[in-house]
Amino acid sequence: MCCRFENAVTAAEKASQIDPRNVEVAVLLKNVRMVARARLRGNDLFKSERFTEACSAYGEGLRLDPSNSVLYCNRAACWFKLGQWERSIEDCNQALRIQPNYTKAILRRAASNSKVNLSTILMHCILIHSFSKGNMVLSISSLCS
């Protein structure tokens, strides 16, 4: 587990020991453990290249902790691997709304944006090629106007 997740579990466990009858602490501890488990499961699935399942695992964690920038960024990595670059960008944006200086999310969003832009360029090339096959040659400048 990542240090932040371990620290959250440890802090919740200490609070539970201090006040074992506190219902709010018990609920928090259960929630923190479930989020940490979802993250670990997602990480294991990602390492096994089971990206769709990893997305679901990170999503489970996000349902419990919707302000968890790490889970958004990890799910963005899955979307990237699946070629779902727009979804990757959305999750990176969400991670950055929560933690604006999150370097990994910034870099991941840049990589996803480059894929989206590349696919747009390729789509235009295919259109140009298909038009040229039909003797309807278009110039790049005519596409931009």
End-to-end CA distance of the chain: 53
Left (φ > 0), alpha (ψ -120 to 50) or beta: where does 135 sit?
left
Q: Distance between CA 90 and CA 69 in Å, rounded?
A: 12
- Scan for tokens 């596409």, then name that residue: 143
Residue 125: per-residue pLDDT: 67
- The DSSP line for 8-56 is HHHHHHHHHHH-TT-HHHHHHHHHHHHHHHHHHHHHHHHHTT-HHHHHH
pTM for this model (two decimals):
0.73
Number of Cβ atoms within 10 Å of the Cβ of 32: 20
Q: What is the DSSP letter of 68?
A: -
Q: What is the pLDDT of residues 77-118, one digit of tens each?
A: 999 999 999 999 999 999 999 999 999 999 999 999 999 887
Enumerate the domain spans of the chain. 1-66, 84-145
Lowest mean pLDDT among 17-31, 34-48, 60-74: 17-31
Lowest mean pLDDT among 14-18, 59-63, 84-88, 137-141: 137-141
Q: Is 8 exposed, middle or buried (0-12, 13-18, 19+ CB in 10 A)?
A: buried
For 82, list phi and psi in degrees, rounded to 5. Answer: -85, 0
